[in-house]
A and B are shown apart, each in its own frame.
Chain A
Amino acid sequence: MTRHSSLTDAELVRACRAGDSEAWNELVERYSRYVYAIAVRGFRLSDDDAEDVFQDVFTRIYLRLDSLRDDSALRPWIAQLTRRRCLDALASKSRETPAEDELMYEETSDLTDVEEAFAVREALAGLSETCQEMLDRFFARDQSYRTIGEELDIPSGTIASRIARCLGRLREQLEGRNPPAEGSRG
C-alpha cells in the first residue's frame, strides 16, 4: 500500500495535475483492471486489442486530465473514454463487427457487471482492514469459518456474525454512494 492508495479519486486527480508521479502510478494501478475488464468482458476484445485500448485510454487520461470538470467523477469519465475507444476498435474491424443489437446487448449486460464489481471494490475500500480481510477470505477465496478463524486468530464461532456485520457496513457504503455524475467534455 502506498501513501496515495488511501486518497479519494478527487484527491488523486489533483495530485496528478500537480505533477506527482506516484499519484499517476496509483491512478493507473487503481483503474487498470477496470479499463481492461470493460474491453475484454464488455466488448469481447482480444487481448491484443484490449492492450491497445488500455494504452490509448491511459494516454488520453494523461493528456486530458485538465478537461475533467468534476474531479470526483474520474471513474465514469474513464468508463466513457474506454467505451468510446472500444467502439473505435470494433469499427476499425468492421468486417468482424457483430450486429448492432448484439453489440448493444453485450454492452448493457456485461458492462453492468463490471460497473457493479468496481462499485463493490470501491465500497470495500471504505471498510476496516479486518472487514476487508474477512469478506475477501469468505467470498473471494472460499475459505471456511474454521480456516478464517485459525489464520486470523479469531474464535471460529464468531466469524459468521462478524462477516454479517461487515456485509451490513458494505451495504451502507454502497447505499451511501452518490450516483455517478456526468464526467467531462472528453
Chain B
Amino acid sequence: MNAKSRKVVATTVDSSHLTTNDYLDLRFEELLDRISADGLAPGGGSAAAFTVAFAARLVAMVARCSAIWKEAPGVAAQATAISDRAIALAQSDGRAWDAALLALRDAEAADTQDDAKRDFALERKLEAAAAAPLEIASLAADIAALAAAAGERCEATYRADAAAAAALAAGGAAAAAHLVRVNLGIRPGDRRLADALSSEQAARDVADRLGGAAR
C-alpha cells in the first residue's frame, strides 16, 4: 500500500454515508460542501462526471439556440442523454469509491489476514473504482464530439459556449483518465487504460481546435 492510500485509510469512514447519495436531490451548495467535506465521495470521479454534465448541458443550450441548424434538436437530445448518464456515473463512482475506501480500511485493520488474499480483494475494489471513470472519460469524448459539431454549425453568438463545453469536456476526460490510471495501477497494454487515454486525447483535440478558432 502506498503512502497516499495509507493517508486515505487514516480518514474515518462512516458507512451510513453510502445510503444518502442522491446528488440530484442536494442543493448546489450542499453538493459543493459534500465534495469538500472529507475524504469520502463525491470525490474526483464524481467531480469529473459533474464537469462532463455541465459540458453536455452547455452543448444542449448551444444547439437549442441555433434555429438555423437543422440537426440541432437531435444534438440537444444526445447532449441531454449524455448529461443524464454522467450524473448517474457520478453516483456510481461515489459508491465504488466509498466501497474501495472501506476495503482499504478493513485491510489495514485485519492484521491476521493473508496478504495475498487481502491484496486480491483490494485490487478488485480498486478495479471497480476504475470502471466509472473509464465511462466518464468516454462520455467526455462524446460530448466533445458534439461540441465540435455545435461549434461548426451553431449561431456565431454561441460559438464561445461550444468552445467552453469542449474545454470542460477535456478537463473531465483528463481527470477521469487519471483516476483510471491510478486505480488500475501501472499496467502497460491494459485496454481500459488505453481507451481512457484515447478518450482524453480526443476531447483535448476538440478543445484545442475550438479554443484556437475562438481566439
Contact = CB atoms under 8 A, between A and B. Distances in A.
B77 interface: yes
Contacts of A138: 78, 81
Contact of A163 (B70, B72, B74, B138): B74
A147 to B, nearest CB: 8
Interface residues of B, number: 18
Interface in B119-153: 138-139, 141-142, 145-146, 149
> What is the size category of the interface that chain A forms with chain B?
10 to 19
A183 B199 CA distance: 52
Contacts of B138: 144, 146
A167 B73 CA distance: 8
Contacts, number: 47
Contacts of A145: 141-142, 145
B85 interface: yes
B139 A144 contact: yes
Contacts of A161: 71, 149
B141 A144 contact: yes
A157 B147 CA distance: 12
A50 B73 CA distance: 38
9 contacts: A139-B81, A146-B142, A160-B78, A160-B142, A160-B149, A163-B74, A163-B78, A166-B74, A168-B70
